[in-house]
Structure 1
Amino acid sequence: MTAPFHVLFLCTGNSARSILAEAIMNREGKGRFIGHSAGSRPTGAPNPFALSLLQREGFDTSFARSKSWDEFAAPGAPKLDFVFTVCDSAAAEECPYWPGQPVSAHWGLPDPAAVEGSDAAKALAFAETYRALNRRIQAFAALPIATLDALTLKARLSEIGRTE
């Protein structure tokens, strides 16, 4: 594998967690990593709370769209180096065949879009999800990928996925 590494974040709806992860990866990856996101059953639009949070954090959200994971299995799609599921339902689904056999791991987090109640409660759930993803992505981006064998890399990615 050589940089830049293409990283796909998967979730069922591709409206919240995976969108946040894509944005964070593109910032924290500093050109070494290129983040993408997709869903098995995309909702059709990013969650407004996700977009609002990203804008407050200084992200340009023009990239954000809810898209099918089929885009990344189609001819001409970027060659994926890593695939992370960020929701339990996407992890349980049978994924498409990813050319090149990317390294994968499950980084499941509760769905902030499922939180009910006040807008403040929803915004807090999105902020907690953002912080967790940011920590995990920073840890991932700091890995010495070129010096790790495949088994060690897979183990480290699984460890990162258990980080709260």
Structure 2
Amino acid sequence: MKKKVAFLCVHNSCRSQMAEAWAKKLGNDIMEIYSAGTEEYHEVKPKAVSVMEEVGIDMKGHYPKLLKDIPQKIDILITMGCNVVCPYVPNSHNEDWGLEDPSGGSIKDFRETREIIRRKVEDLINRINKNEI
């Protein structure tokens, strides 16, 4: 049975969107993947879309979602480092990845964040496969 995994941040416009996209590309066979934010936002950051395109991942159809748009029971809840207290979402395992938000930064900052997220998603998949979480 696939694990329900949700990636959360404030606006669901950058880090959590990249995490969702990486997870769908790398772990769709073992995870049911969601992302959401705690506050409304009007778009996914264009630089996030651009840097993901560089590695062959199309996020053009992605849009910011809110907590109400994802299942209310999640197996694995990942927060991106929101620096805020996220509302409680029932889960079996949660962790905070403590990622700096590249918004407002250079394309280089977005690329670095993309690669950090890729490594973290690969590690998450590895731990799920080993039944560590």
Question: What is the TM-score of this pair, normalised by structure 2?
Answer: 0.88
Separation in structure 2 between the aligned mates of residue 28 and residue 43 of structure 1, nearest angstrom: 27
Specify which structure has the bigger relative contact order, considering alpha-carbon pairs within 8 angstroms and separated by 6 or more residues. 2
Paired position in structure 1 for 2:100: 110
| RMSD, matched Cα | 1.9
Alignment of 1:74-93 (within 5 A): 77=71, 79-89=73-83, 92-93=84-85
Deviation at 1:79, TM superposition (A): 4.1
Paired position in structure 2 for 1:141: 125
Higher strand share: 2
Cα distance change, pair 123–79 in 1 and its aligned pair in 2 (3 A): same
- Three-state SS of the structure 2 residue aligned to 1:130 is helix
Deviation at 1:21, TM superposition (A): 0.3
Between Structure 1 and Structure 2, how many residues are aligned?
133
Higher helix share: 1
Match for 1:103: what amino acid? H
CA contact (8 A) 2:39 2:66 kept: yes
Alignment of 1:50-129 (within 5 A): 50-72=48-70, 77=71, 79-89=73-83, 92-98=84-90, 101-115=91-105, 122-129=106-113
Match for 2:38: what amino acid? S
Separation in structure 1 between the aligned mates of residue 125 and residue 43 of structure 2, nearest angstrom: 28
Deviation at 1:67, TM superposition (A): 1.0
Match for 1:130: what amino acid? R
Cα distance change, pair 23–105 in 1 and its aligned pair in 2 (3 A): same
> % of aligned pairs identical?
25
Q: 2:29 aligns with which of 10, 28, 31?
A: 31
In structure 2, the gaps of 5 or more residues are none
Q: 1:47 aligns with which of 45, 48, 66?
A: 45
CA contact (8 A) 1:84 1:105 kept: yes
In structure 1, the gaps of 5 or more residues are 116-121, 154-164
Q: Which has more radius of gyration?
A: 1
Separation in structure 1 between the aligned mates of residue 67 and residue 124 of structure 2, nearest angstrom: 22
Question: What is the TM-score of this pair, normalised by structure 1?
Answer: 0.73
